[in-house]
Structure 1
Amino acid sequence: MKKNLFLFVCVGLLSFWGCAVKKTDEQSSVKTVHGWKSLFNGKDIKDWNVKIHHHDFGVNYGNTFRVEDGTIQVRYDQYGDFNEQYGHLYYKTPYSYYHLKLEYRFVGELHKGAPDYTLRNSGVMFHSQDPKSMPKEQDWPISVEMQFLGGLSDGNPRPTGNMCSPGTNVVYQGKIAASHCLNSTSKTYDGDQWVRAELIVLGDSLITHIIEGDTVLQYSKPQIGGGVANRYDPKLKIDGRLLKSGYIALQSEGQPVDFKNIQIKDLSSAYK
């Protein structure tokens, strides 16, 4: 095909596609949804709350969660032994129907005393219980996790955007998932590169994980149940109860990690 004709066809197709997308958006109920809101202002974490295992709510032990260079950084340089001090940084407002997006990267070495499985391992918890309801010695919040894993540069696959379920269950391929974690179909991301992750949560219905623009995992009906979470208030663990909403939290479990560009679009008006 001649160059000029090729350009003409491409421009024509792009114009048609742009018009089609605009028309679809205008006809869709999602058109009424509010735009993207930044959950992190790039300056501080005043809109976020900390809960770390072995510590009371609100205690940011060892300055675990800090802000530098416009990113939320998870660090352990003020720790001794890790001592199972799993931590979570919660945004102040719970959500139910939403589209969340952020970027993360793994940096540095696994801290001394952290379990081997936490190597290049972090995540974002959602539909989480209120951190104020967690006893000092509760290790993991009752929640669902979009798990982030970094490749180990050994040539072996290690997908990211997986699902893990502390104190919860999900329905996968028509039945309650038999395992605590479900692997996604994502590529492996080695090194300290930034990775774009998205999470679409529709209340107690469908949940979608997206990595670098590709849908890598879907499941539904998040509900209380299962194990892993320990020393919680038993009044809160009502197995079988569907989770329609909850808090969003960034994770710390021994591996230094950075987060940035954390944004959310509330979808409640379109789906409720």
Structure 2
Amino acid sequence: MKIATLCFFLSALTVVNASVAQAETAKSSSEWTSLFNGKNLDGFDTFLGRYGPDRLNDDPQNIVSVQNGEIHIYKDTEQGAEAPFGYFVTQKEYSHYHLRFEYRWGEKKFAPRTNVVRDSGVIFHMVGPNKVWPRGVECQVQEKDTGDIFTVYGTQVTTTVDPKRKGSSPQFMEAKDGGVPLTQGSKGVTRIVKSTTEEKEGWNTVEIIVRGSDEFTHIVNGVVNNRGSDIRELDSNGEDWIPLKSGKILFQVEGAEVRYRNIEIKELPASK
């Protein structure tokens, strides 16, 4: 009887352990949350600068539309036409998270950017009023430039850069490879070029990992090509730099046809 009881107990324990493992696996896989439901723009607002400052969800030209599980920018706009700039932006603010999405360029370009590379971008920790290029830190999404860092109108970051590079825009280099510290930002816009070009034809996957004001990483098609730390913004007096810990996430509408899909987020534990 004792042996039988022991066998029953061990069998039950095995079942319990398996159930716990399955629950943990399910929990892990469910940590990703879809920001875009594939059907409509629930959870987002749209802003187009042509229609006035801080004016949301006014899109009579259908500049930002949803079709076939994708957010399609300028789908119905005629090639070469003068088109408004703006973005679609989360209604919620985020601080510590892992963002993942896919993008693919369309064929069309629009004035005044018909003769330059296709451009979009993701600004995270966006704060302040809605306007074209609001305050925040940008992960560039642009032909052959995806992963560049832009500090936009009153933000500042620290990174490590190639000490041998000459020119106006420093280039990210990992500290272990010889990169030297650089703190960069201004009341305008500054750029830190990615270390490698990872964009390919067709769909591309971009990940942005942000931990409050402490650090952030840009990953393009599985390769880290930029990172920074100590995210700051100018205070209300425009004099001192203070930590920028959170903000909204926006996807730019910037004169090029582009499609976005599978926009997901995994919120991370707050920094200790």
TM-score by length of 2: 0.72
CA distance in 1, matches of 2:30, 2:240: 34
1:241 partner SS: strand
Residue 246 of structure 1: CA displacement? 0.1
Give me the whole-angstrom Cα distance separating, in 1, the residues matched to 2:214 and 2:29. 19
Change (3 A) 1:149 1:217: same
CA contact (8 A) 1:164 1:180 kept: yes
User: Residue 176 of structure 1 aligns with which residue?
Assistant: 183
Which residue number in structure 2 is paired with residue 262 of structure 1?
263
Q: Structure 2 residue aligned with 1:185, among 176, 179, 195?
A: 195
Task: Give the C-alpha shift of residue 44 in structure 1.
Answer: 0.3
- CA deviation map 1:202-234 (0-9, x unaligned): 100111001111111111112225xxxxxxxx9
- Aligned match for 2:146, one of 160, 172, 190: 160
C-alpha contact 1:74 1:257 (8 A) present in aligned 2? yes
Alignment of 1:12-31 (within 5 A): none
Alignment of 1:146 with 2:147, yes or no, is: no
CA distance, structure 2, for counterparts of residue 114 and residue 127 of structure 1:
26
Local SS of the residue matching 2:61: helix
Distance 1:175 1:185, change over 3 A: closer
Structure 1's consecutive aligned runs of 4 or more residues displaced over 6 angstroms after TM superposition are: 31-34
Does structure 1 retain, via aligned residues, the 8 Å contact 2:233–2:244? Answer: yes
Corresponding residue number in structure 1 for 2:89:
90
Partner of 1:64: 63
How many Å apart are 1:260 and its aligned residue?
0.5
Quote the offset at 1:142 in angstroms. Answer: 0.5
Are the equivalent residues in 2 in contact too, given 1:198–1:211 (CA < 8 A)? yes
Find the residue that maps to 1:271 and give its secondary structure.
coil
Deviations 1:85-112 (A, max 9, x none): 3211011110000000000011112113
Deviation at 1:180, TM superposition (A): 1.0
Query: Normalising by the residue count of structure 1, what TM-score does the alignment of the two structures yield?
Result: 0.72
Q: Which has the larger radius of gyration?
A: 2
- Whether contact under 8 Å (1:33, 1:270) holds in the other structure is no
Question: Which digits, 9 at most, give the CA deviation of each residue in 1:236-256, with x for residues without a partner?
Answer: 866512210000011111001
CA distance in 1, matches of 2:182, 2:265: 29
How far off its partner does 1:121 sit? 1.3
Deviates more, 1:252-261 or 1:159-168: 159-168
SS, match of residue 112 in structure 2: coil
Deviations 1:157-206 (A, max 9, x none): x3421111211221122332267111112335354x10010000010011
Structure 1 vs Structure 2: percent identity of aligned residues? 30
1: distance between equivalents of 2:261 and 2:237? 32
| Backbone CA RMSD of aligned residues | 2.8
Q: Which has the higher helix share?
A: 1
Query: Are the structure 2 counterparts of residues 78 and 86 from structure 1 closer, same or farther at C-alpha, using a change threshold of 3 Å?
Result: same
Q: Return the letter of the residue paired with 1:194.
A: W
Superposed counterparts of 1:67-78, under 5 Å: 67-75=66-74, 77-78=76-77
SS in 2 for 1:54: helix
- Is the CA contact (8 Å cut-off) linking 1:224 and 1:241 kept in structure 2? yes
Match of 2:271 in 1: 271
> CA separation in 2, counterparts of 1:236 and 1:74?
36
Separation in structure 2 between the aligned mates of residue 238 and residue 266 of structure 1, nearest angstrom: 32
Gap runs ≥5 in structure 1: 1-22, 151-157, 226-233
Cα-to-partner distance string for 1:102-153 (whole Å, 9 max, x where unaligned): 0001111211323755x211111100015xx33xxx4311011110122xxx
CA contact (8 A) 1:144 1:165 kept: yes
Change (3 A) 1:260 1:247: same
